[in-house]
């Protein structure tokens, strides 16, 4: 879908010389789906000490221009070793102790059951960045299970102001003792040169663990079965740099801004950046980005009009009248 325009953008000498840097804290499970279309052009730095769900990274190393796997705890402290609570689900493991008193009110409490506590080597995130001789981060993604904001704030101010996209996954309920909450992330980012790009609220069903001990009741409240409404538990929230504090406003930054806007489906902002790049640099690449976005919007608009008119799936209409391939 994006291959043609992305191939053109990433053929730019600035991006060949300085590829995009993607930082993933809490990388267990799978590669961030939004990075798949740019992985072959990018440098990825992935942190996670819980190796139970990190093996996949070794199998996708070739998909990145460079992939650095840091099997240590990313920290905002200088401690050499930090306690790490391994939970029944690797995706819930954290440097913070799960707050079972609160969690026992929800259907997913068993995922947070502590199966072990180990002391892992911690690594100062700024030191890693410096050791890899990376002077900037372009896309910062963290799902650290409770310390997202602390890690972000620990970065140098210059790095923060030049991050183009920041993904957080803060809690809404008190799942961990002393965790960073959604309202704290929003309060902090409100004073930074970013705008909120998207937010998805997720959560479990509210039901006490004492009821779940009864097998006849528990089967109705299996986490995520959709038999009743879930309650807000955490949010996936993305912030996009507004480009007002980036000095100098380089061609590289504008090109990457356009790429990330396309990935995030923020085509209005992508169009804004393309116009700005075209004006500043009189560059055909920005003109082509602008044309690609407008063409994409036109196709979507026509598909919507067809759907509104015919009232049944667009793919069927497209095949019938052969307007679209």
- Summarised one tens digit per residue, pLDDT across range 239-279 is 999 999 998 999 999 999 999 999 999 999 999 999 999 99
Average pLDDT of span 165-182: 95
Query: Beta-carbon neighbour count of residue 91 at 10 Å?
Result: 16
Give the confidence band of 90 by pLDDT, cuts at 50, 70, 90: confident
Q: Kindly state the percentage of the chain with pLDDT values over 90.
A: 54
Q: How far apart are CA 263 and CA 246, in angstroms?
A: 21
b/e per residue, 203-240, with b = 16+ CB within 10 A? bbbbbeeeebeeeeeeeebeeeeeeeebbebbbebbbb
pLDDT at 301: 85
Q: Kindly state the percentage of the chain with pLDDT values over 70.
A: 88
Query: Beta-carbon neighbour count of residue 53 at 10 Å?
Result: 16
pLDDT at 211: 84
Give the confidence band of 325 by pLDDT, cuts at 50, 70, 90: very low
Give the confidence band of 120 by pLDDT, cuts at 50, 70, 90: confident
Give the confidence band of 115 by pLDDT, cuts at 50, 70, 90: very high
- State the pTM of this model: 0.89
Average pLDDT of span 180-192: 96
* Mean per-residue pLDDT of the chain: 87
Q: Is 321 exposed, middle or buried (0-12, 13-18, 19+ CB in 10 A)?
A: exposed
Domains along the chain with CATH numbers: 3-247 (3.40.50), 266-325 (no CATH)
Q: How far apart are CA 259 and CA 6, in angstroms?
A: 7
Query: Beta-carbon neighbour count of residue 88 at 10 Å?
Result: 14
Q: How far apart are CA 146 and CA 180, in angstroms?
A: 5
Q: pLDDT tens for residues 21-62?
A: 999 987 665 678 899 999 999 999 988 776 655 555 566 667
Q: Write the CB contacts of 238 (distance below 8 Å, at least 6 apart in sequence).
A: 165, 166, 167, 168, 196, 197, 198, 199, 264
Using CA atoms, how far residue 191 sits from 32, 137, 196, in Å, is 27, 19, 12
């Amino acid at each position: 879908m994006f291959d043609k325009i992305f191939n053109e953008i990433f053929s730019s000498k600035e991006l060949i010389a300085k590829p995009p840097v993607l930082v993933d804290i809490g990388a267990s499970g799978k590669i961030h789906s939004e990075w798949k279309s740019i992985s072959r052009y990018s440098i990825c730095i992935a942190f996670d000490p819980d190796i139970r769900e990190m093996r996949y990274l070794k199998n996708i190393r070739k998909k990145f221009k460079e992939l650095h796997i840091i099997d240590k705890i990313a920290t905002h402290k200088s401690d050499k070793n930090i306690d790490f609570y391994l939970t029944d689900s690797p995706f819930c493991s954290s440097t913070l102790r799960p707050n079972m008193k609160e969690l026992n009110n929800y259907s997913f409490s068993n995922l947070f059951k502590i199966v072990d506590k180990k002391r892992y080597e911690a690594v100062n995130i700024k030191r890693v960045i410096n050791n890899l001789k990376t002077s900037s981060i372009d896309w910062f993604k963290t799902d650290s299970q409770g310390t997202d904001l602390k890690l972000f704030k620990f970065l140098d101010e210059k790095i923060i102001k030049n991050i183009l996209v920041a993904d957080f996954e803060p809690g809404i309920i008190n799942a961990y003792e002393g965790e960073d909450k959604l309202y704290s992330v929003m309060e902090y980012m409100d004073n930074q040169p970013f705008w909120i790009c998207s937010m998805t609220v997720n959560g479990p069903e509210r039901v006490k663990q004492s009821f779940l001990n009864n097998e006849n009741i528990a089967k109705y409240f299996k986490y995520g079965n959709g038999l009743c409404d879930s309650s807000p538990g955490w949010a996936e929230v993305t912030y996009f740099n507004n480009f007002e504090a980036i000095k100098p406003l380089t061609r590289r930054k504008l090109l990457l801004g356009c790429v990330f806007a396309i990935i995030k489906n923020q085509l209005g902002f992508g169009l804004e950046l393309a116009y700005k790049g075209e004006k500043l640099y009189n560059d055909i690449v920005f003109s082509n980005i602008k044309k690609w976005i407008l063409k994409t919007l036109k196709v979507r608009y026509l598909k919507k009009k067809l759907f509104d008119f015919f009232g049944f799936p667009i793919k069927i209409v497209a095949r019938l009248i052969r307007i679209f391939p």
